[in-house]
Structure 1
Amino acid sequence: MDLDHALRVAVEAAEAAGALLLDGVSGAGPRVRAKGGGGDVVTDLDMAAEKLILERLLTGFPGHRVIAEESGLAGAADGEWTWLVDPLDGTNNVAIGLPVYVVGLALCRDGAPVLGVVHEPVTGRTWSAVHGRGAVGPGGRRLSPPYRPTAHGPTVAWTQGHGVRRGDPVAGAVRNALGLRARRVLQLWAPLLAWAMLARGDIDGIVGYRAELVDLPGGLLLAQEAGMAVRGFDGTPFACDITLPDQERTFVACHPRRLDELLETVAG
Structure 2
Amino acid sequence: MASFGKKDVQVGKKGPIDLVTDVDIAVERMFRALVAERFPEHQVLAEEMGGSAVAPVGPCWVFDPLDGTTNYAHGLPIFCASLALEIDGVSEVAAVFDPTRQELFTAERGRGACLNGRPLAISHAGSLVDAVVVTGFPYDVHERVDEIVGLFGAFVGQARAVRRLGSAAIDLCYVAAGRMDGFWETDLKAWDIAAGALIVAEAGGRVTRTDGTPFASRSGDVLATNGRLHDQMLGVIRSFRAKRLSTVD
Q: If the length of structure 2 is used for normalisation, what is the TM-score?
A: 0.86
Q: Relative to 1, partners in 2 of residues 1:233 and 1:86: Cα closer, same or farther, differing over 3 Å? A: closer
1:132-188, Cα deviation, whole Å (9 max, x unpaired): 1111111x1111234134684421111244355622654343222112112222221
1:81-118, Cα deviation, whole Å (9 max, x unpaired): 11111001111011111111100111111111111110
User: Of 201, 204, 209, which residue of structure 2 is paired with 1:232?
Assistant: 209
Q: Is the 8 A contact 2:128 2:232 kept in 1?
A: no
The SS at the match of 1:257 is coil
**Unaligned regions of 5+ residues in structure 1, if any?**
1-21
User: Of 99, 103, 126, which residue of structure 2 is paired with 1:125?
Assistant: 103
- Taking the aligned partners of 1:66 and 1:205, their CA distance within structure 2 comes to 29
Q: Relative to 1, partners in 2 of residues 1:28 and 1:255: Cα closer, same or farther, differing over 3 Å? A: same
Does 1:33 find its partner at 2:12?
A: yes
Which residue does the alignment assign to 2:242? none
- Taking the aligned partners of 1:254 and 1:206, their CA distance within structure 2 comes to 6
Which residue does the alignment assign to 1:208? 185
- Taking the aligned partners of 1:84 and 1:145, their CA distance within structure 2 comes to 24
Q: Is the 8 A contact 1:81 1:110 kept in 2?
A: yes
**Shift, 1:79, TM fit:** 4.0
Aligned residue type for 2:150: A
Q: Is the 8 A contact 1:134 1:225 kept in 2?
A: yes
**Shift, 1:250, TM fit:** 2.9
User: Of 106, 114, 127, which residue of structure 2 is paired with 1:136?
Assistant: 114
Q: Is the 8 A contact 1:64 1:81 kept in 2?
A: yes
Does 1:72 find its partner at 2:72?
A: no
Question: What aligned pairs does 1:2-151 form with structure 2 within 5 A after superposition?
Answer: 22-36=1-15, 38-73=16-51, 79-138=57-116, 140-149=117-126
Q: Is the 8 A contact 1:160 1:212 kept in 2?
A: no
Aligned residue type for 1:24: S
The SS at the match of 2:92 is strand
Query: C-alpha root-mean-square deviation of aligned residues, in Å?
Result: 2.2
- Taking the aligned partners of 1:171 and 1:26, their CA distance within structure 2 comes to 30
Aligned residue type for 2:221: T
Aligned residue type for 1:109: I
User: Of 221, 233, 240, which residue of structure 2 is paired with 1:262?
Assistant: 233
The SS at the match of 2:191 is coil
Which residue does the alignment assign to 2:245? none
- Taking the aligned partners of 2:233 and 2:128, their CA distance within structure 1 comes to 15
Q: Is the 8 A contact 1:113 1:240 kept in 2?
A: no
Which sits farther off after the overlay, 176-185 or 220-229?
A: 176-185
Q: Is the 8 A contact 1:105 1:116 kept in 2?
A: yes
Identity of aligned residues (%): 30
1:27-47, Cα deviation, whole Å (9 max, x unpaired): 4541111113x3211111111
Aligned residue type for 1:215: D
Q: Is the 8 A contact 1:34 1:41 kept in 2?
A: yes
**Shift, 1:219, TM fit:** 0.7
The SS at the match of 1:182 is coil
**Shift, 1:124, TM fit:** 1.4
